[in-house]
Structure 1
Amino acid sequence: MPGKSIHKPEYKVLLALLIEMRDKADLKQAQLAERLERPQSYVSDVERGVRRLDLLQLQEYCQACGQDLVAFVRKFDKATRA
């Protein structure tokens, strides 16, 4: 049985890309949380890997950072194939 995805190296890549996307949008965790209408702890939990995002939440996260979901997924795909 394969291990949980949160323990795979690709998951660390995902977390790093989420943080990078927020940083490039010049947003603090609290600012992103406000855009998402969530508490700051939500963003912190996502970025630390404590909370997982489903596809719809990832789309909201991308939109709040001004990033296209498809572009984000392509970047993730490229990073994990390297």
Structure 2
Amino acid sequence: MASIYSDEYQRVIKALREARIAKGITQENLARALDRPQSFIAKVENGERRLDIVEFIHLSRLLSLDPINIINKIPTKHKPLSAK
């Protein structure tokens, strides 16, 4: 499993954080929309807590981002496996 500090993961978090700031949404308001404490958003943005895929999708959509666009920006490191 990749570290929460991997370049790919940090790019995802950076995209979410930059969108939040650009839209003038506070950590508190975003957390409230997720029914979470503000510390949840702070920990995600500071790399202290890893997002699961469902949380990532919810955050993306709350910030009017297409999660697929963010995922597609992650470079491919591995070749697809083929069935034998």
Q: TM-score, normalised by structure 1?
A: 0.76
How do 1:1-82 and structure 2 match up within 5 A?
Answer: 4-74=2-72, 76-77=73-74
Which of these two proteins has the greater Rg computed from alpha carbons?
2
| Unaligned residue ranges in structure 1 (runs of 5+) | none
Aligned residue pairs, count: 76
Structure with greater helix share of residues: 1
CA contact (8 A) 1:25 1:66 kept: no
Q: Which stretches of structure 1, 4 residues or more, deviate above 4 A after TM superposition?
A: none
Identity, % of aligned positions: 30
| Unaligned residue ranges in structure 2 (runs of 5+) | 77-84
Equivalents in 2 of 1:22, 1:30: separation in Å? 11
CA contact (8 A) 1:29 1:43 kept: yes
Q: Residue type of the partner of 2:27? A: Q
Q: TM-score, normalised by structure 2?
A: 0.75
Alpha-carbon offset, residue 13 of structure 1: 2.2
Other structure's SS at 1:6 match: coil
Per-residue Cα deviation, 1:5-44 (whole angstroms, up to 9, x for no partner): 2232333322222211211232110111111111100000
